[in-house]
Chains A and B, each alone.
Chain A
Amino acid sequence: MRTRRLGRGLAAVVRRPPVPALLFVSMNGWAVMVWSTIGAAASHAEFRALPGAVVASSLHPTSHVHGGAATPVAFVMWVAMVLAMSPLLLAREVDRVRLSSLRRRRGSIVTVWLTGYVVIWLLAGAAVVPFVAWLGTDVRLAWGAVALVALWHCSPLRQRFLNACHRAASLRSFGVAAYRDALRDGFATGGACAAVCGPLMVTVLLAADIHLVAMAAATLALTVERYLPARTPRWRLPFVPARASEWPSARARAGLLRARV
């Protein structure tokens, strides 16, 4: 009952501008992703032979991202993935940038901001794609990468970047400063987003023929995570609720007791 009504709430959110527009952009990203998956599968015979259900088997050392010819495909996939996954996460950000701008400049300021954001992702893609290709050469490397990404998701540093996504900067609104701030904030937001989401997207690329499923799961997890409250950076499993309070250690409390005397 509660779930159903919350579902209706979600439906209301989806209908509120600019969400429909962002969803449209996202759909295009998904379309490209599906299209490139089919294309890659067609051009790599071994791809079709892979069993799809088990991640282990799909971490195939000779997936579509190996070698020269496949790299552009992987880059297109990377861009498509960004296009598919980020618009919903950006709803709040674009709102904030729009409302910090004088109306006659809204279009140009948002464009500058998005440029900064996208440039970061393209740079990240340029770095990640050859790396993924290299990881794809050996199944042990691929699994090692997955393990590192899992570790990254438990790390305080990642939580720091995630918290940075929660902390909206104030953008100046007049003169050249407005454009400078928009660009800088686009870079900063793109950077934090890439640090938070990028590594998981690497594993999506590695997941070869089930990467559409992996991508859907990743999108869901990353979107939900973004809308939850910030947490104190520290080592912990993803999605485990934060401790309600920081109870000092027995040692710290003994220290307090001594200080009192």
Chain B
Amino acid sequence: MVRTRCEVRSPEAADALRWYATAVHVMQSRPLADRTSWLFLAAIHGIQPSLWFRFGVIEPDVAAPPAADQRRFWNQCQHQSWYFLPWHRGYLFAFEQICREAVIEAGGPEDWALPYWNYSDTTRPEARVLPDAFAQETLPAGWESTALPDGSPNPLWVERRYGKTDPPITIGEQFVTLEALQLDDFVGGTNDIPPGFGGPVTVFHTGGGPNGSLERQPHNGVHGQIGGSRPGGNVNDPADQGFMSMPSTAGLDPIFWLHHANIDRLWTVWRRTHTDPADPRWLDGPIPRTFTMPAVDGQEWTFTPSLVLDTASSPLDYIYDDQAAPVEPVFPVGARRAERFALLSGGPARSADDGTPSAEEREGGVMGAEHAPELIGASDSAVRVNGETRAGVRLDEPRVRSLTQRLGRAMALGPVSEEPPRVFLKLEGIRGTSDAANYLVYIGLPTDATEELDPDHLAGTLSLFGVGRASDPEGPNAGGGLNEVLEITRVVDALQVSGNDLANALDVRFVPASERDADADFSISSVRVFMLEP
């Protein structure tokens, strides 16, 4: 039987949500050591026992599962990895089955499926608001059952869900845009330039390094926007973060599963027009650990990505009520180029040079054949971000001159000319402890721009979900931190069109997305600019 996962605000989902609350309640009443308990399932994503004790999630005298269970099941979540999507798909599937069992036992429907939350739907203004059923502290009216009498606490509500706004928690629109769906390849290019849709090649990898695009946004952004940090607390202290803000607690929030169902749906959307990796290291990976989940009966279920590619067939057997592409167009080959030239040559006319490529450009052309990114700028030192922060990136003059010449020619001649290189901003070695932080990154703003930040200069968002663990020198990432790659081709093109040539420096500005983000304190070991032949 193929089941359908429905959008959380659709009429079909109302009943599914009510049963979800019942199942969460049943699972929460099981002890930690039970493989089908709420806590055990959350620990599969991540657990930091000391933090769980501190949060009062578990009591210090709790009976821990056997060490072998901890080793096989716990702390498996794959982040900043090409396994991000398949691992979370298998994880959600295992969770949904255990939930469904609880639903059926409580007298619910046999075809129960996990709802998803589509916060990116721009046609519905309320789409970015946390669904009401999660925001109420006591059981919503009409949800009473024998297990959950009237006036019970609402299993879908958690205290440690702070968000970044006054209630109701609302996600900022910049954090749910779907540029990721426009990426052609699952795995990124050299040095993750351009980034891939699904993430970089890794072994079993719980986090650190560069994100795949879908993971970067909307995934990471939504985690911070929902989890947030305690108002009046310290955004840099793990003990003050919301559950959703950190990988080691995210699975404890019932909204986590609806968020990930949506991310899973977006993978389904993408793969209708694109292809997954054919690399056997991905299909049959990973090493050295395997993906292991509890089945309904508590037995082990191990899977590889190759087993979870098509959701509509066995063993997964589910579809989404909406699998259509939400962004138009999901770029066909060549459309990106056409759009680029529309911007470039639609701008004010410029005097073109004679059109013969310079020695430098020819050199660039040779490199282009390899599609290797080329460094053209870098910050001279590490950047400490604490509230609104400006960083200067020094640019290599000869290479930038060549870039602007080619942009100028494209402006003058239009689509008959060669497409100029694409440009990327790379934030390397992002380290800190403010997992909840959400920032906006602008480039090339005029020095005196303080009030209105021109959206034409927005390079992208920066969300630090997972930064604490990735920065831990004793953790699995050895403290390397996170990396972020933002394509800034469009911004650079617009700068050129408006007559602001790139000179020998580029101004990068980090702007907190909300007041609560302003106290975040993290460092970036290097801000770099790369160009890539198209």
Complex Cα–Cα for A144 and B87 (A): 46
Complex Cα–Cα for A100 and B530 (A): 10
- Do A103 and B475 contact each other (CB < 8 Å), given the known contacts A246-B49, A253-B60? no
- Do A246 and B281 contact each other (CB < 8 Å), given the known contacts A170-B428, A229-B476, A254-B60? no
- Do A167 and B473 contact each other (CB < 8 Å), given the known contacts A6-B284, A229-B206? yes
With both chains docked as a complex, state the minimum distance between the C-beta of A3 and any C-beta of chain B, in angstroms.
9
Complex Cα–Cα for A101 and B48 (A): 39
| Interfacial residues of chain B within 324-374, with CB under 8 A of chain A in the complex | 363, 367, 373-374
Residues in B with CB closer than 8 Å to A49 are: none
Establish whether residues A229 and B205, one from each chain, have CB atoms under 8 Å apart when the complex forms.
yes
| B70 CB contact (under 8 Å) in A230, A233, A244 | A244
Residues in B with CB closer than 8 Å to A232 are: 474-475
Complex Cα–Cα for A10 and B64 (A): 38
Looking at A103, A229, A232, which has the most chain B CB atoms within 10 Å of its CB? Answer: A229
With both chains docked as a complex, state the minimum distance between the C-beta of B289 and any C-beta of chain A, in angstroms.
7
Complex Cα–Cα for A260 and B280 (A): 50
Establish whether residues B203 and A102, one from each chain, have CB atoms under 8 Å apart when the complex forms.
no
Establish whether residues B74 and A245, one from each chain, have CB atoms under 8 Å apart when the complex forms.
yes
Complex Cα–Cα for A168 and B430 (A): 12
Nearest CB in chain B to that of A257: its residue: B60
Looking at B204, B206, B288, B474, which has the most chain A CB atoms within 10 Å of its CB? Answer: B474
Per-residue 0/1 for B45-82: is the Cβ within 8 Å of any A Cβ (1 yes, 0 no)? 00111100100000111001001001111111000000
Nearest CB in chain B to that of A232: its residue: B474
- Do A245 and B476 contact each other (CB < 8 Å), given the known contacts A6-B284, A12-B279, A174-B380? no
Flag whether B177 is at the interface (Cβ < 8 A): no
Task: Give the interface size class of chain B.
Answer: 35 or more
Residues in A with CB closer than 8 Å to B479 are: 163, 167
Complex Cα–Cα for A10 and B49 (A): 37
Number of A positions contacting B (CB below 8 A): 48
Flag whether A140 is at the interface (Cβ < 8 A): no
Complex Cα–Cα for A232 and B48 (A): 14
| Interfacial residues of chain B within 253-288, with CB under 8 A of chain A in the complex | 279-285, 287-288
Flag whether B228 is at the interface (Cβ < 8 A): no
- Do A256 and B70 contact each other (CB < 8 Å), given the known contacts A6-B280, A6-B285, A170-B429? no
Establish whether residues A243 and B70, one from each chain, have CB atoms under 8 Å apart when the complex forms.
yes
Residues in B with CB closer than 8 Å to A170 are: 382, 428-429, 525-526
Establish whether residues A177 and B380, one from each chain, have CB atoms under 8 Å apart when the complex forms.
yes
- 17 A-B pairs besides A167-B478, A167-B480, A229-B203 with CB distance below 8 A are A1-B284, A7-B280, A9-B279, A9-B282, A102-B376, A103-B375, A164-B478, A170-B525, A171-B526, A174-B378, A229-B477, A233-B474, A244-B72, A244-B75, A246-B49, A248-B50, A248-B60
The 10 closest A-B pairs by CB, nearest first: A9-B281, A5-B280, A230-B478, A253-B60, A170-B526, A166-B478, A170-B525, A163-B478, A244-B74, A173-B378
